[in-house]
Structure 1
C-alpha cells in the first residue's frame, strides 16, 4: 500500500511556545510556508497565567514586538489586575527596576544618560503573562497563514541533503528545514544529535500557592537564611530555594507535606501549611548547545540553552533567537542570502547565551547559604545601591547594552536601532512592520536613494529628518532592527554598498545581469 506523500513546507517548527510562534511569524512575513507542531494539546494552562506565568520583558523584546506591530495588542490583552496582584512591587513608591540574586536596583538610581543611543521615549521593561504573549503571537501567526497543529510531539527526525522528515504523533511532516523550539527537553535536539553541555544544578526552587495556619508567623518579603532563601508575598504566594543539588525537581510529587518540610527547614519556623494549591519547581541547571545548526536542523530558545529563571532572562533570550534567525533563514530559502548569512545566527546568538548563563551562575553564587557567599552578597548590595552600579545592572538585566560584534567601528553598529521620531510624524519602528531592511537617510541624498533601489525588494529607503538624530547622517538597519551601518558625516556610498551586500546579498541588478 502506497503511503501518501507528506505535504511540504519551507520550514517545520517543533514547539508552539512564544519562541516557535514568533519565529513562525517572522518566516511567514518573509513569504515562507511554515508548519508548527506542538506536543501539548491545549494552548493554555494555569502555569501560563499570572502569577506563575508572569515574565519580565526586556528592552530588545519590547522593541521587537513594537517593530512588528504587536506591542499594542499585547498591552491590550495583559490582565492588569492580575499582573498588579502578582507583582506588588509595581505599586511601590520607590519602584525596583529589576534585581540580581534578589537584590533590587531602583529606577531612581539608574542613569540612562550613560546609554548614548537611548532616546528619552525608548522602550522600558514591562511585565506580561505567558498566556497573553502566546495568544497575541498565535493570532498573528494564524493571520499570516501559519499552520499550527497541537497534540503532536516529535518522535523521529530524518535529515537528508535537501530536506527534513519529521515524525510527530502518528503523522509525518516534510520540509526544507527544521527548527527545534521544543523546550529544555527538546526531542529535536536529541534526535538530531546536538551536543548539550554545562553545569548541573545546586538547588531546587519552589513557587507555590499555600494556605498557612498562622500567616502572621511568617514575615513577608525576601529572606536569606542559613538553609536557603524564601520570599513570602501576602496572602498566599511562597517562593523558596533549597540547596539540595536539584534533588526534588521533577523527581517526586510536590505535596503539602513536602512543601511544609522545606519551608520549615529554610525559615527555621514550625509553620503549618494547611493547604497546597498550584505549585511548580525549577533548578539552576545551566546547559548550552554546542552548536545551533546541524545541516538543515536548527535550535532556538530553551532547546538551545537552559538556565535558572533568576532575573527573567530565559524568555527574552529565546525571543531574541527567533528575531535573529527568522530573516536569515528566510533569505536562505529565497536564495538571495549573503554568503555565510545563516552561519551568523550561531556566531551572534551563542555568545549572548553564554553571557546569560554565566549571569545566572553568578546569581547562584551569591545565594548560597555560606558565610563567604553572604559576605560577597553584602558587597554587591552596596555596589548595586550606587548610581553607576544600578545603571550597570539595569543595562545587563534590561538588555539595553546588547551589541553584536559585526566588525564595524561605529559604536551603534550591532546595537538595536533607536526608535527615531521622524519629522513626518512616524517613528522608525513604523517602517519595520513588514520585516524588511531599512536605509534611513536624514539628509535625503539622491545617491543613497539610488543605492537602496538596487535592493528595493529587501531594503526600504526612508528620507526624513528626525526630532533627534544623535549626530547621525544615515543608518542601515537589518530586518531584526540591528544597525548594520551608521554614518555621522556624509556617507561614502561604497561603504553603504558593502554593508548592504554583506547583509542583504547581491543587488538585484547584479542578479539580473548574471
Structure 2
C-alpha cells in the first residue's frame, strides 16, 4: 500500500502537521525513533501568532485550560528590555504557558482522534524517490522495513536525517558564546520578593523581574516561578571559563555561573516536579537555514528547516506555522486539486519568515552581550521603545503578526492573519475549526457571494454572518486554511472578478 504522506518526527511540529493533513482528508503516517514520548522539558510555552492559530483549531482551551478567545499578555521582553504591551490599544502578542510535553500529549491525542497512525520506535534510515513517490527505509522493533509514500516530510529536528539524506545544505553561523545554562530547581532560600513583583537575590542589589531576561555587567539572569515547588533559573555568559560541551550540567556549575553573572551565592536543589528540565547547557548559538525546503517529493518543516537562538521563544511559533502552511498545500497536491505552484509557495512564504526570526533572535543576543558599547546602544533602544509606535512594531515582530503574504489583493487585510471577529454568537476562530478554506460574507448576505463560491463547495465553506457591534473591517473575507486572508473587499463593493481570481489562484479549478 502507498501512504499519502510519511512524517518523520513526532514532536509538536510533526504531530500538528499530521493533524492538518488528516483534517484535509489525507492519510499520514508519523514515525519517531523514540519508543515513547520523552517527557523531557524543552519549552515552557507558546509565544506569538501560533496561540491564535491553535484557537482556530480548537486547541487553545485543551492546552491553556481557559475558554474563550486568547487574550494578549500585558508584558513581554525583547533583548532584556521590558515590553509594556498593556500601553497599546491593539496589543499583538499572545502567550500560552504550557510545557512541551503537554503540547505533545494534546497534539498526539488529537492526531489519533483524526485517525493518524503514529509509529514509535521506528527510525528512518534511508529513502529513495522517483516520479510517483518515495520509498522509505526504516528500522523498528522487528528489524528492517520499507514504506511507500507519495510524499515524505522531515520534521525530525535540527539534526534532521531527512535533510541530510536529501542533500539539502544547511548553511549558517555557529558561535562559541554565549554559554547558556538552565535548570528547574526548588525555590532557593534567601530569595525574597519586592512590592512590584520583582525578586532580590542574597547579596545582589539588582531586582530581577520574573519570566524575563535581566542583563547585568557580566551576563544575563532569568528566574521564572513555575509553581509552588519549582523555579526555572537560567544564565547566559560571554567569555566565561571553558566548558566541556559533552559533559552534563551540574547544579554546582549553574550556581557558580549565577555568582559570576549576579554576584549572588544561591543554594540550588533539584525540583521534583514531573517533566522538569534535566539541567542543560548550550554552548554558543547555532543559526542555520536550509537552502531549500523542498527536494522533489521530500519537504522539511520546523527545526529540520531552521535552527536559531531560543531568545524570545520563537521556535514553536515558527515551526507550528510552518506545519499549518504546508499541511493544506500538501493535502491539495495529494487530492489532486492544487493549482500550479501552490506547493512551491510553502518555501516562498515560510523561508523569509525564518530569515526574519534569525534577524531578531541574533539582534537580541547582541543587545544582551556585555560591554560599554552595547550599554550605549541599549540606552538608545530603550528610548525608542518608550514610544508606542516602536513598541507596537517590536511586539508584532515578536508575535510574528507582522507577516504579510503576497496574495495579489490590495485590501489592507489581505495577506495577513485573519482578525478576531465576534459574529454575534460565534467567533471567526470557531468557524475555522474544520481546517477548510472559508468564504465569509460579513454583510449578512448582502454581497451575494455564495453563488460565486458554489463551484468550489467540495473544498470551501461559504458562511454568511454579521459582526456584533460596529461594522467589521471588511465586507467579505476569503480565508486560507492557515488563517491568512487570501482576498477581502469593502462592505460597499464586492470585487467579484478579484474573488474568482483568488479562488482559482489558491484553490484550483472548480468542479466540472
Q: Using the alignment, how far apart are the partners of 2:173 and 2:335 within structure 1?
A: 39
Aligned-residue offset at 1:480: 1.2
The CA distance in 2 between the partners of 1:403 and 1:153, in whole Å, is: 37
Match of 2:115 in 1: 145
- Give the deviation of 1:358 after TM superposition: 0.5
Distance verdict in 2 for CA 1:264–1:500, change over 3 Å:
same
Q: 1:193 to 1:218 in 2, by over 3 A?
A: farther
Is the 1:255–1:276 Cα contact (8 Å) retained in structure 2?
Answer: no
Deviation at 1:102, TM superposition (A): 1.7
Distance 1:505 1:232, change over 3 A: closer
* CA spacing shift, 1:34–1:260, aligned 2, 3 Å: same
Shift of 1:248: 4.6
The answer to whether the aligner puts 1:45 opposite 2:19 as a matched pair is: no
1:15 aligns with 2:5: no
Residues 232-264 of structure 1, C-alpha deviations (whole Å, 9 max, x = no match) = 457854211122599758432212443344334
- Are the structure 2 counterparts of residues 248 and 403 from structure 1 closer, same or farther at C-alpha, using a change threshold of 3 Å? farther
- 2:463 aligns to what? 462
Deviation at 1:268, TM superposition (A): 4.3
In structure 2, the partner of 1:372 is 373
Task: Give the Cα separation in 2 of the matches to 1:145 and 1:370.
Answer: 55
Tell me what 1:230 maps to. Answer: 221
Tell me if 1:74 matches 2:69.
Answer: no
Closer/same/farther in 2, CA of residues 148 and 256 from structure 1, 3 Å limit: same
Structure 2 match to 1:85: none
Which structure 2 residues correspond to residues 54-453 of structure 1 after superposition, within 5 A? 54-58=44-48, 60-76=49-65, 96-112=74-90, 124-169=94-139, 170=143, 171-201=145-175, 202-210=177-185, 217=202, 219=204, 221=208, 223-233=214-224, 237-244=232-239, 248=243, 250-268=245-263, 271=265, 273=267, 275=269, 278-282=278-282, 283-423=284-424, 425-443=425-443, 444-445=445-446, 447-453=448-454
Length-normalised TM-score, structure 1: 0.85
Tell whether the 8 Å contact from 1:97 to 1:107 is kept in structure 2 after alignment: yes
Distance 1:499 1:236 in 2: 50
Give 1:389 shift: 2.9
What CA distance in whole angstroms lies between the structure 2 residues aligned with 1:475 and 1:236?
45
> Aligned equivalents of 2:89 and 2:106: distance in 1?
33
Q: Tell me how far 1:445 sits from its aligned partner.
A: 4.7
CA distance in 2, matches of 1:254, 1:414: 45
Secondary structure of 1:112's aligned partner: coil
Post-superposition shift, 1:228? 1.8
The corresponding residue for 2:198 is none
**Partners in 2 of 1:385 and 1:167 — Cα distance?**
56
Quote the offset at 1:34 in angstroms. 0.7
Report if the CA contact (8 A) 2:21-2:328 is conserved: yes
Q: CA deviation at 1:204?
A: 1.8
Q: Is the 8 A contact 2:447 2:494 kept in 1?
A: no
Query: Cα offset for 1:223?
Result: 4.4
What is the rounded CA distance, in whole Å, between the counterparts of 1:67 and 1:203 in structure 2?
Answer: 38
Is the 1:249–1:281 Cα contact (8 Å) retained in structure 2? no
Once the two structures are overlaid, the 10-residue window that deviates more, 163-172 or 343-352, is 163-172
Give the whole-Å Cα distance in 1 for the aligned partners of 2:405 and 2:430.
23
Q: Deviations over 1:435-486 (max 9, x none)?
A: 1111111231575221110100111111222224434221111111111111
Q: For the residues of structure 1 that align with 2:31 and 2:80, how far apart are their CA atoms?
A: 37
Cα distance in structure 1, aligned partners of 2:441 and 2:268:
65
2:505 corresponds in structure 1 to 502
TM superposition score normalised by structure 2:
0.86
Q: Quick check: 478-487 or 95-104, which moved more?
A: 95-104
- Partner Cα distance (1:357, 1:156) in 2: 30
Query: How far does residue 494 in structure 1 lie from its aligned partner after superposition?
Result: 1.6
Relative to structure 1, is the Cα distance of residues 257 and 420 closer, same or farther in structure 2, using a 3 angstrom cutoff? Answer: closer
Q: For the Cα contact (< 8 Å) 2:437–2:460, is it kept in 1?
A: yes
Change (3 A) 1:446 1:55: closer
Q: Is 1:486 matched with 2:484?
A: no
Larger deviation, residues 123-132 vs 342-351: 123-132
Structure 1 residues 365 and 253: alpha-carbon distance in aligned structure 2, compared to 1, 3 A threshold: same
Paired residue for 1:87? Answer: none
- How big is the shift at 1:145? 0.5
Cα root mean square deviation, aligned: 2.6
Q: State the Cα distance separating 1:371 from its structure 2 match.
A: 1.2
Deviations 1:20-67 (A, max 9, x none): 11100010111111110112222142425xxxx312332x21222122
Q: Structure 2: which 5+ residue stretches go unaligned?
A: 192-200, 272-277
Unaligned runs of 5+ in 1: 1-6, 79-89, 116-122, 510-514
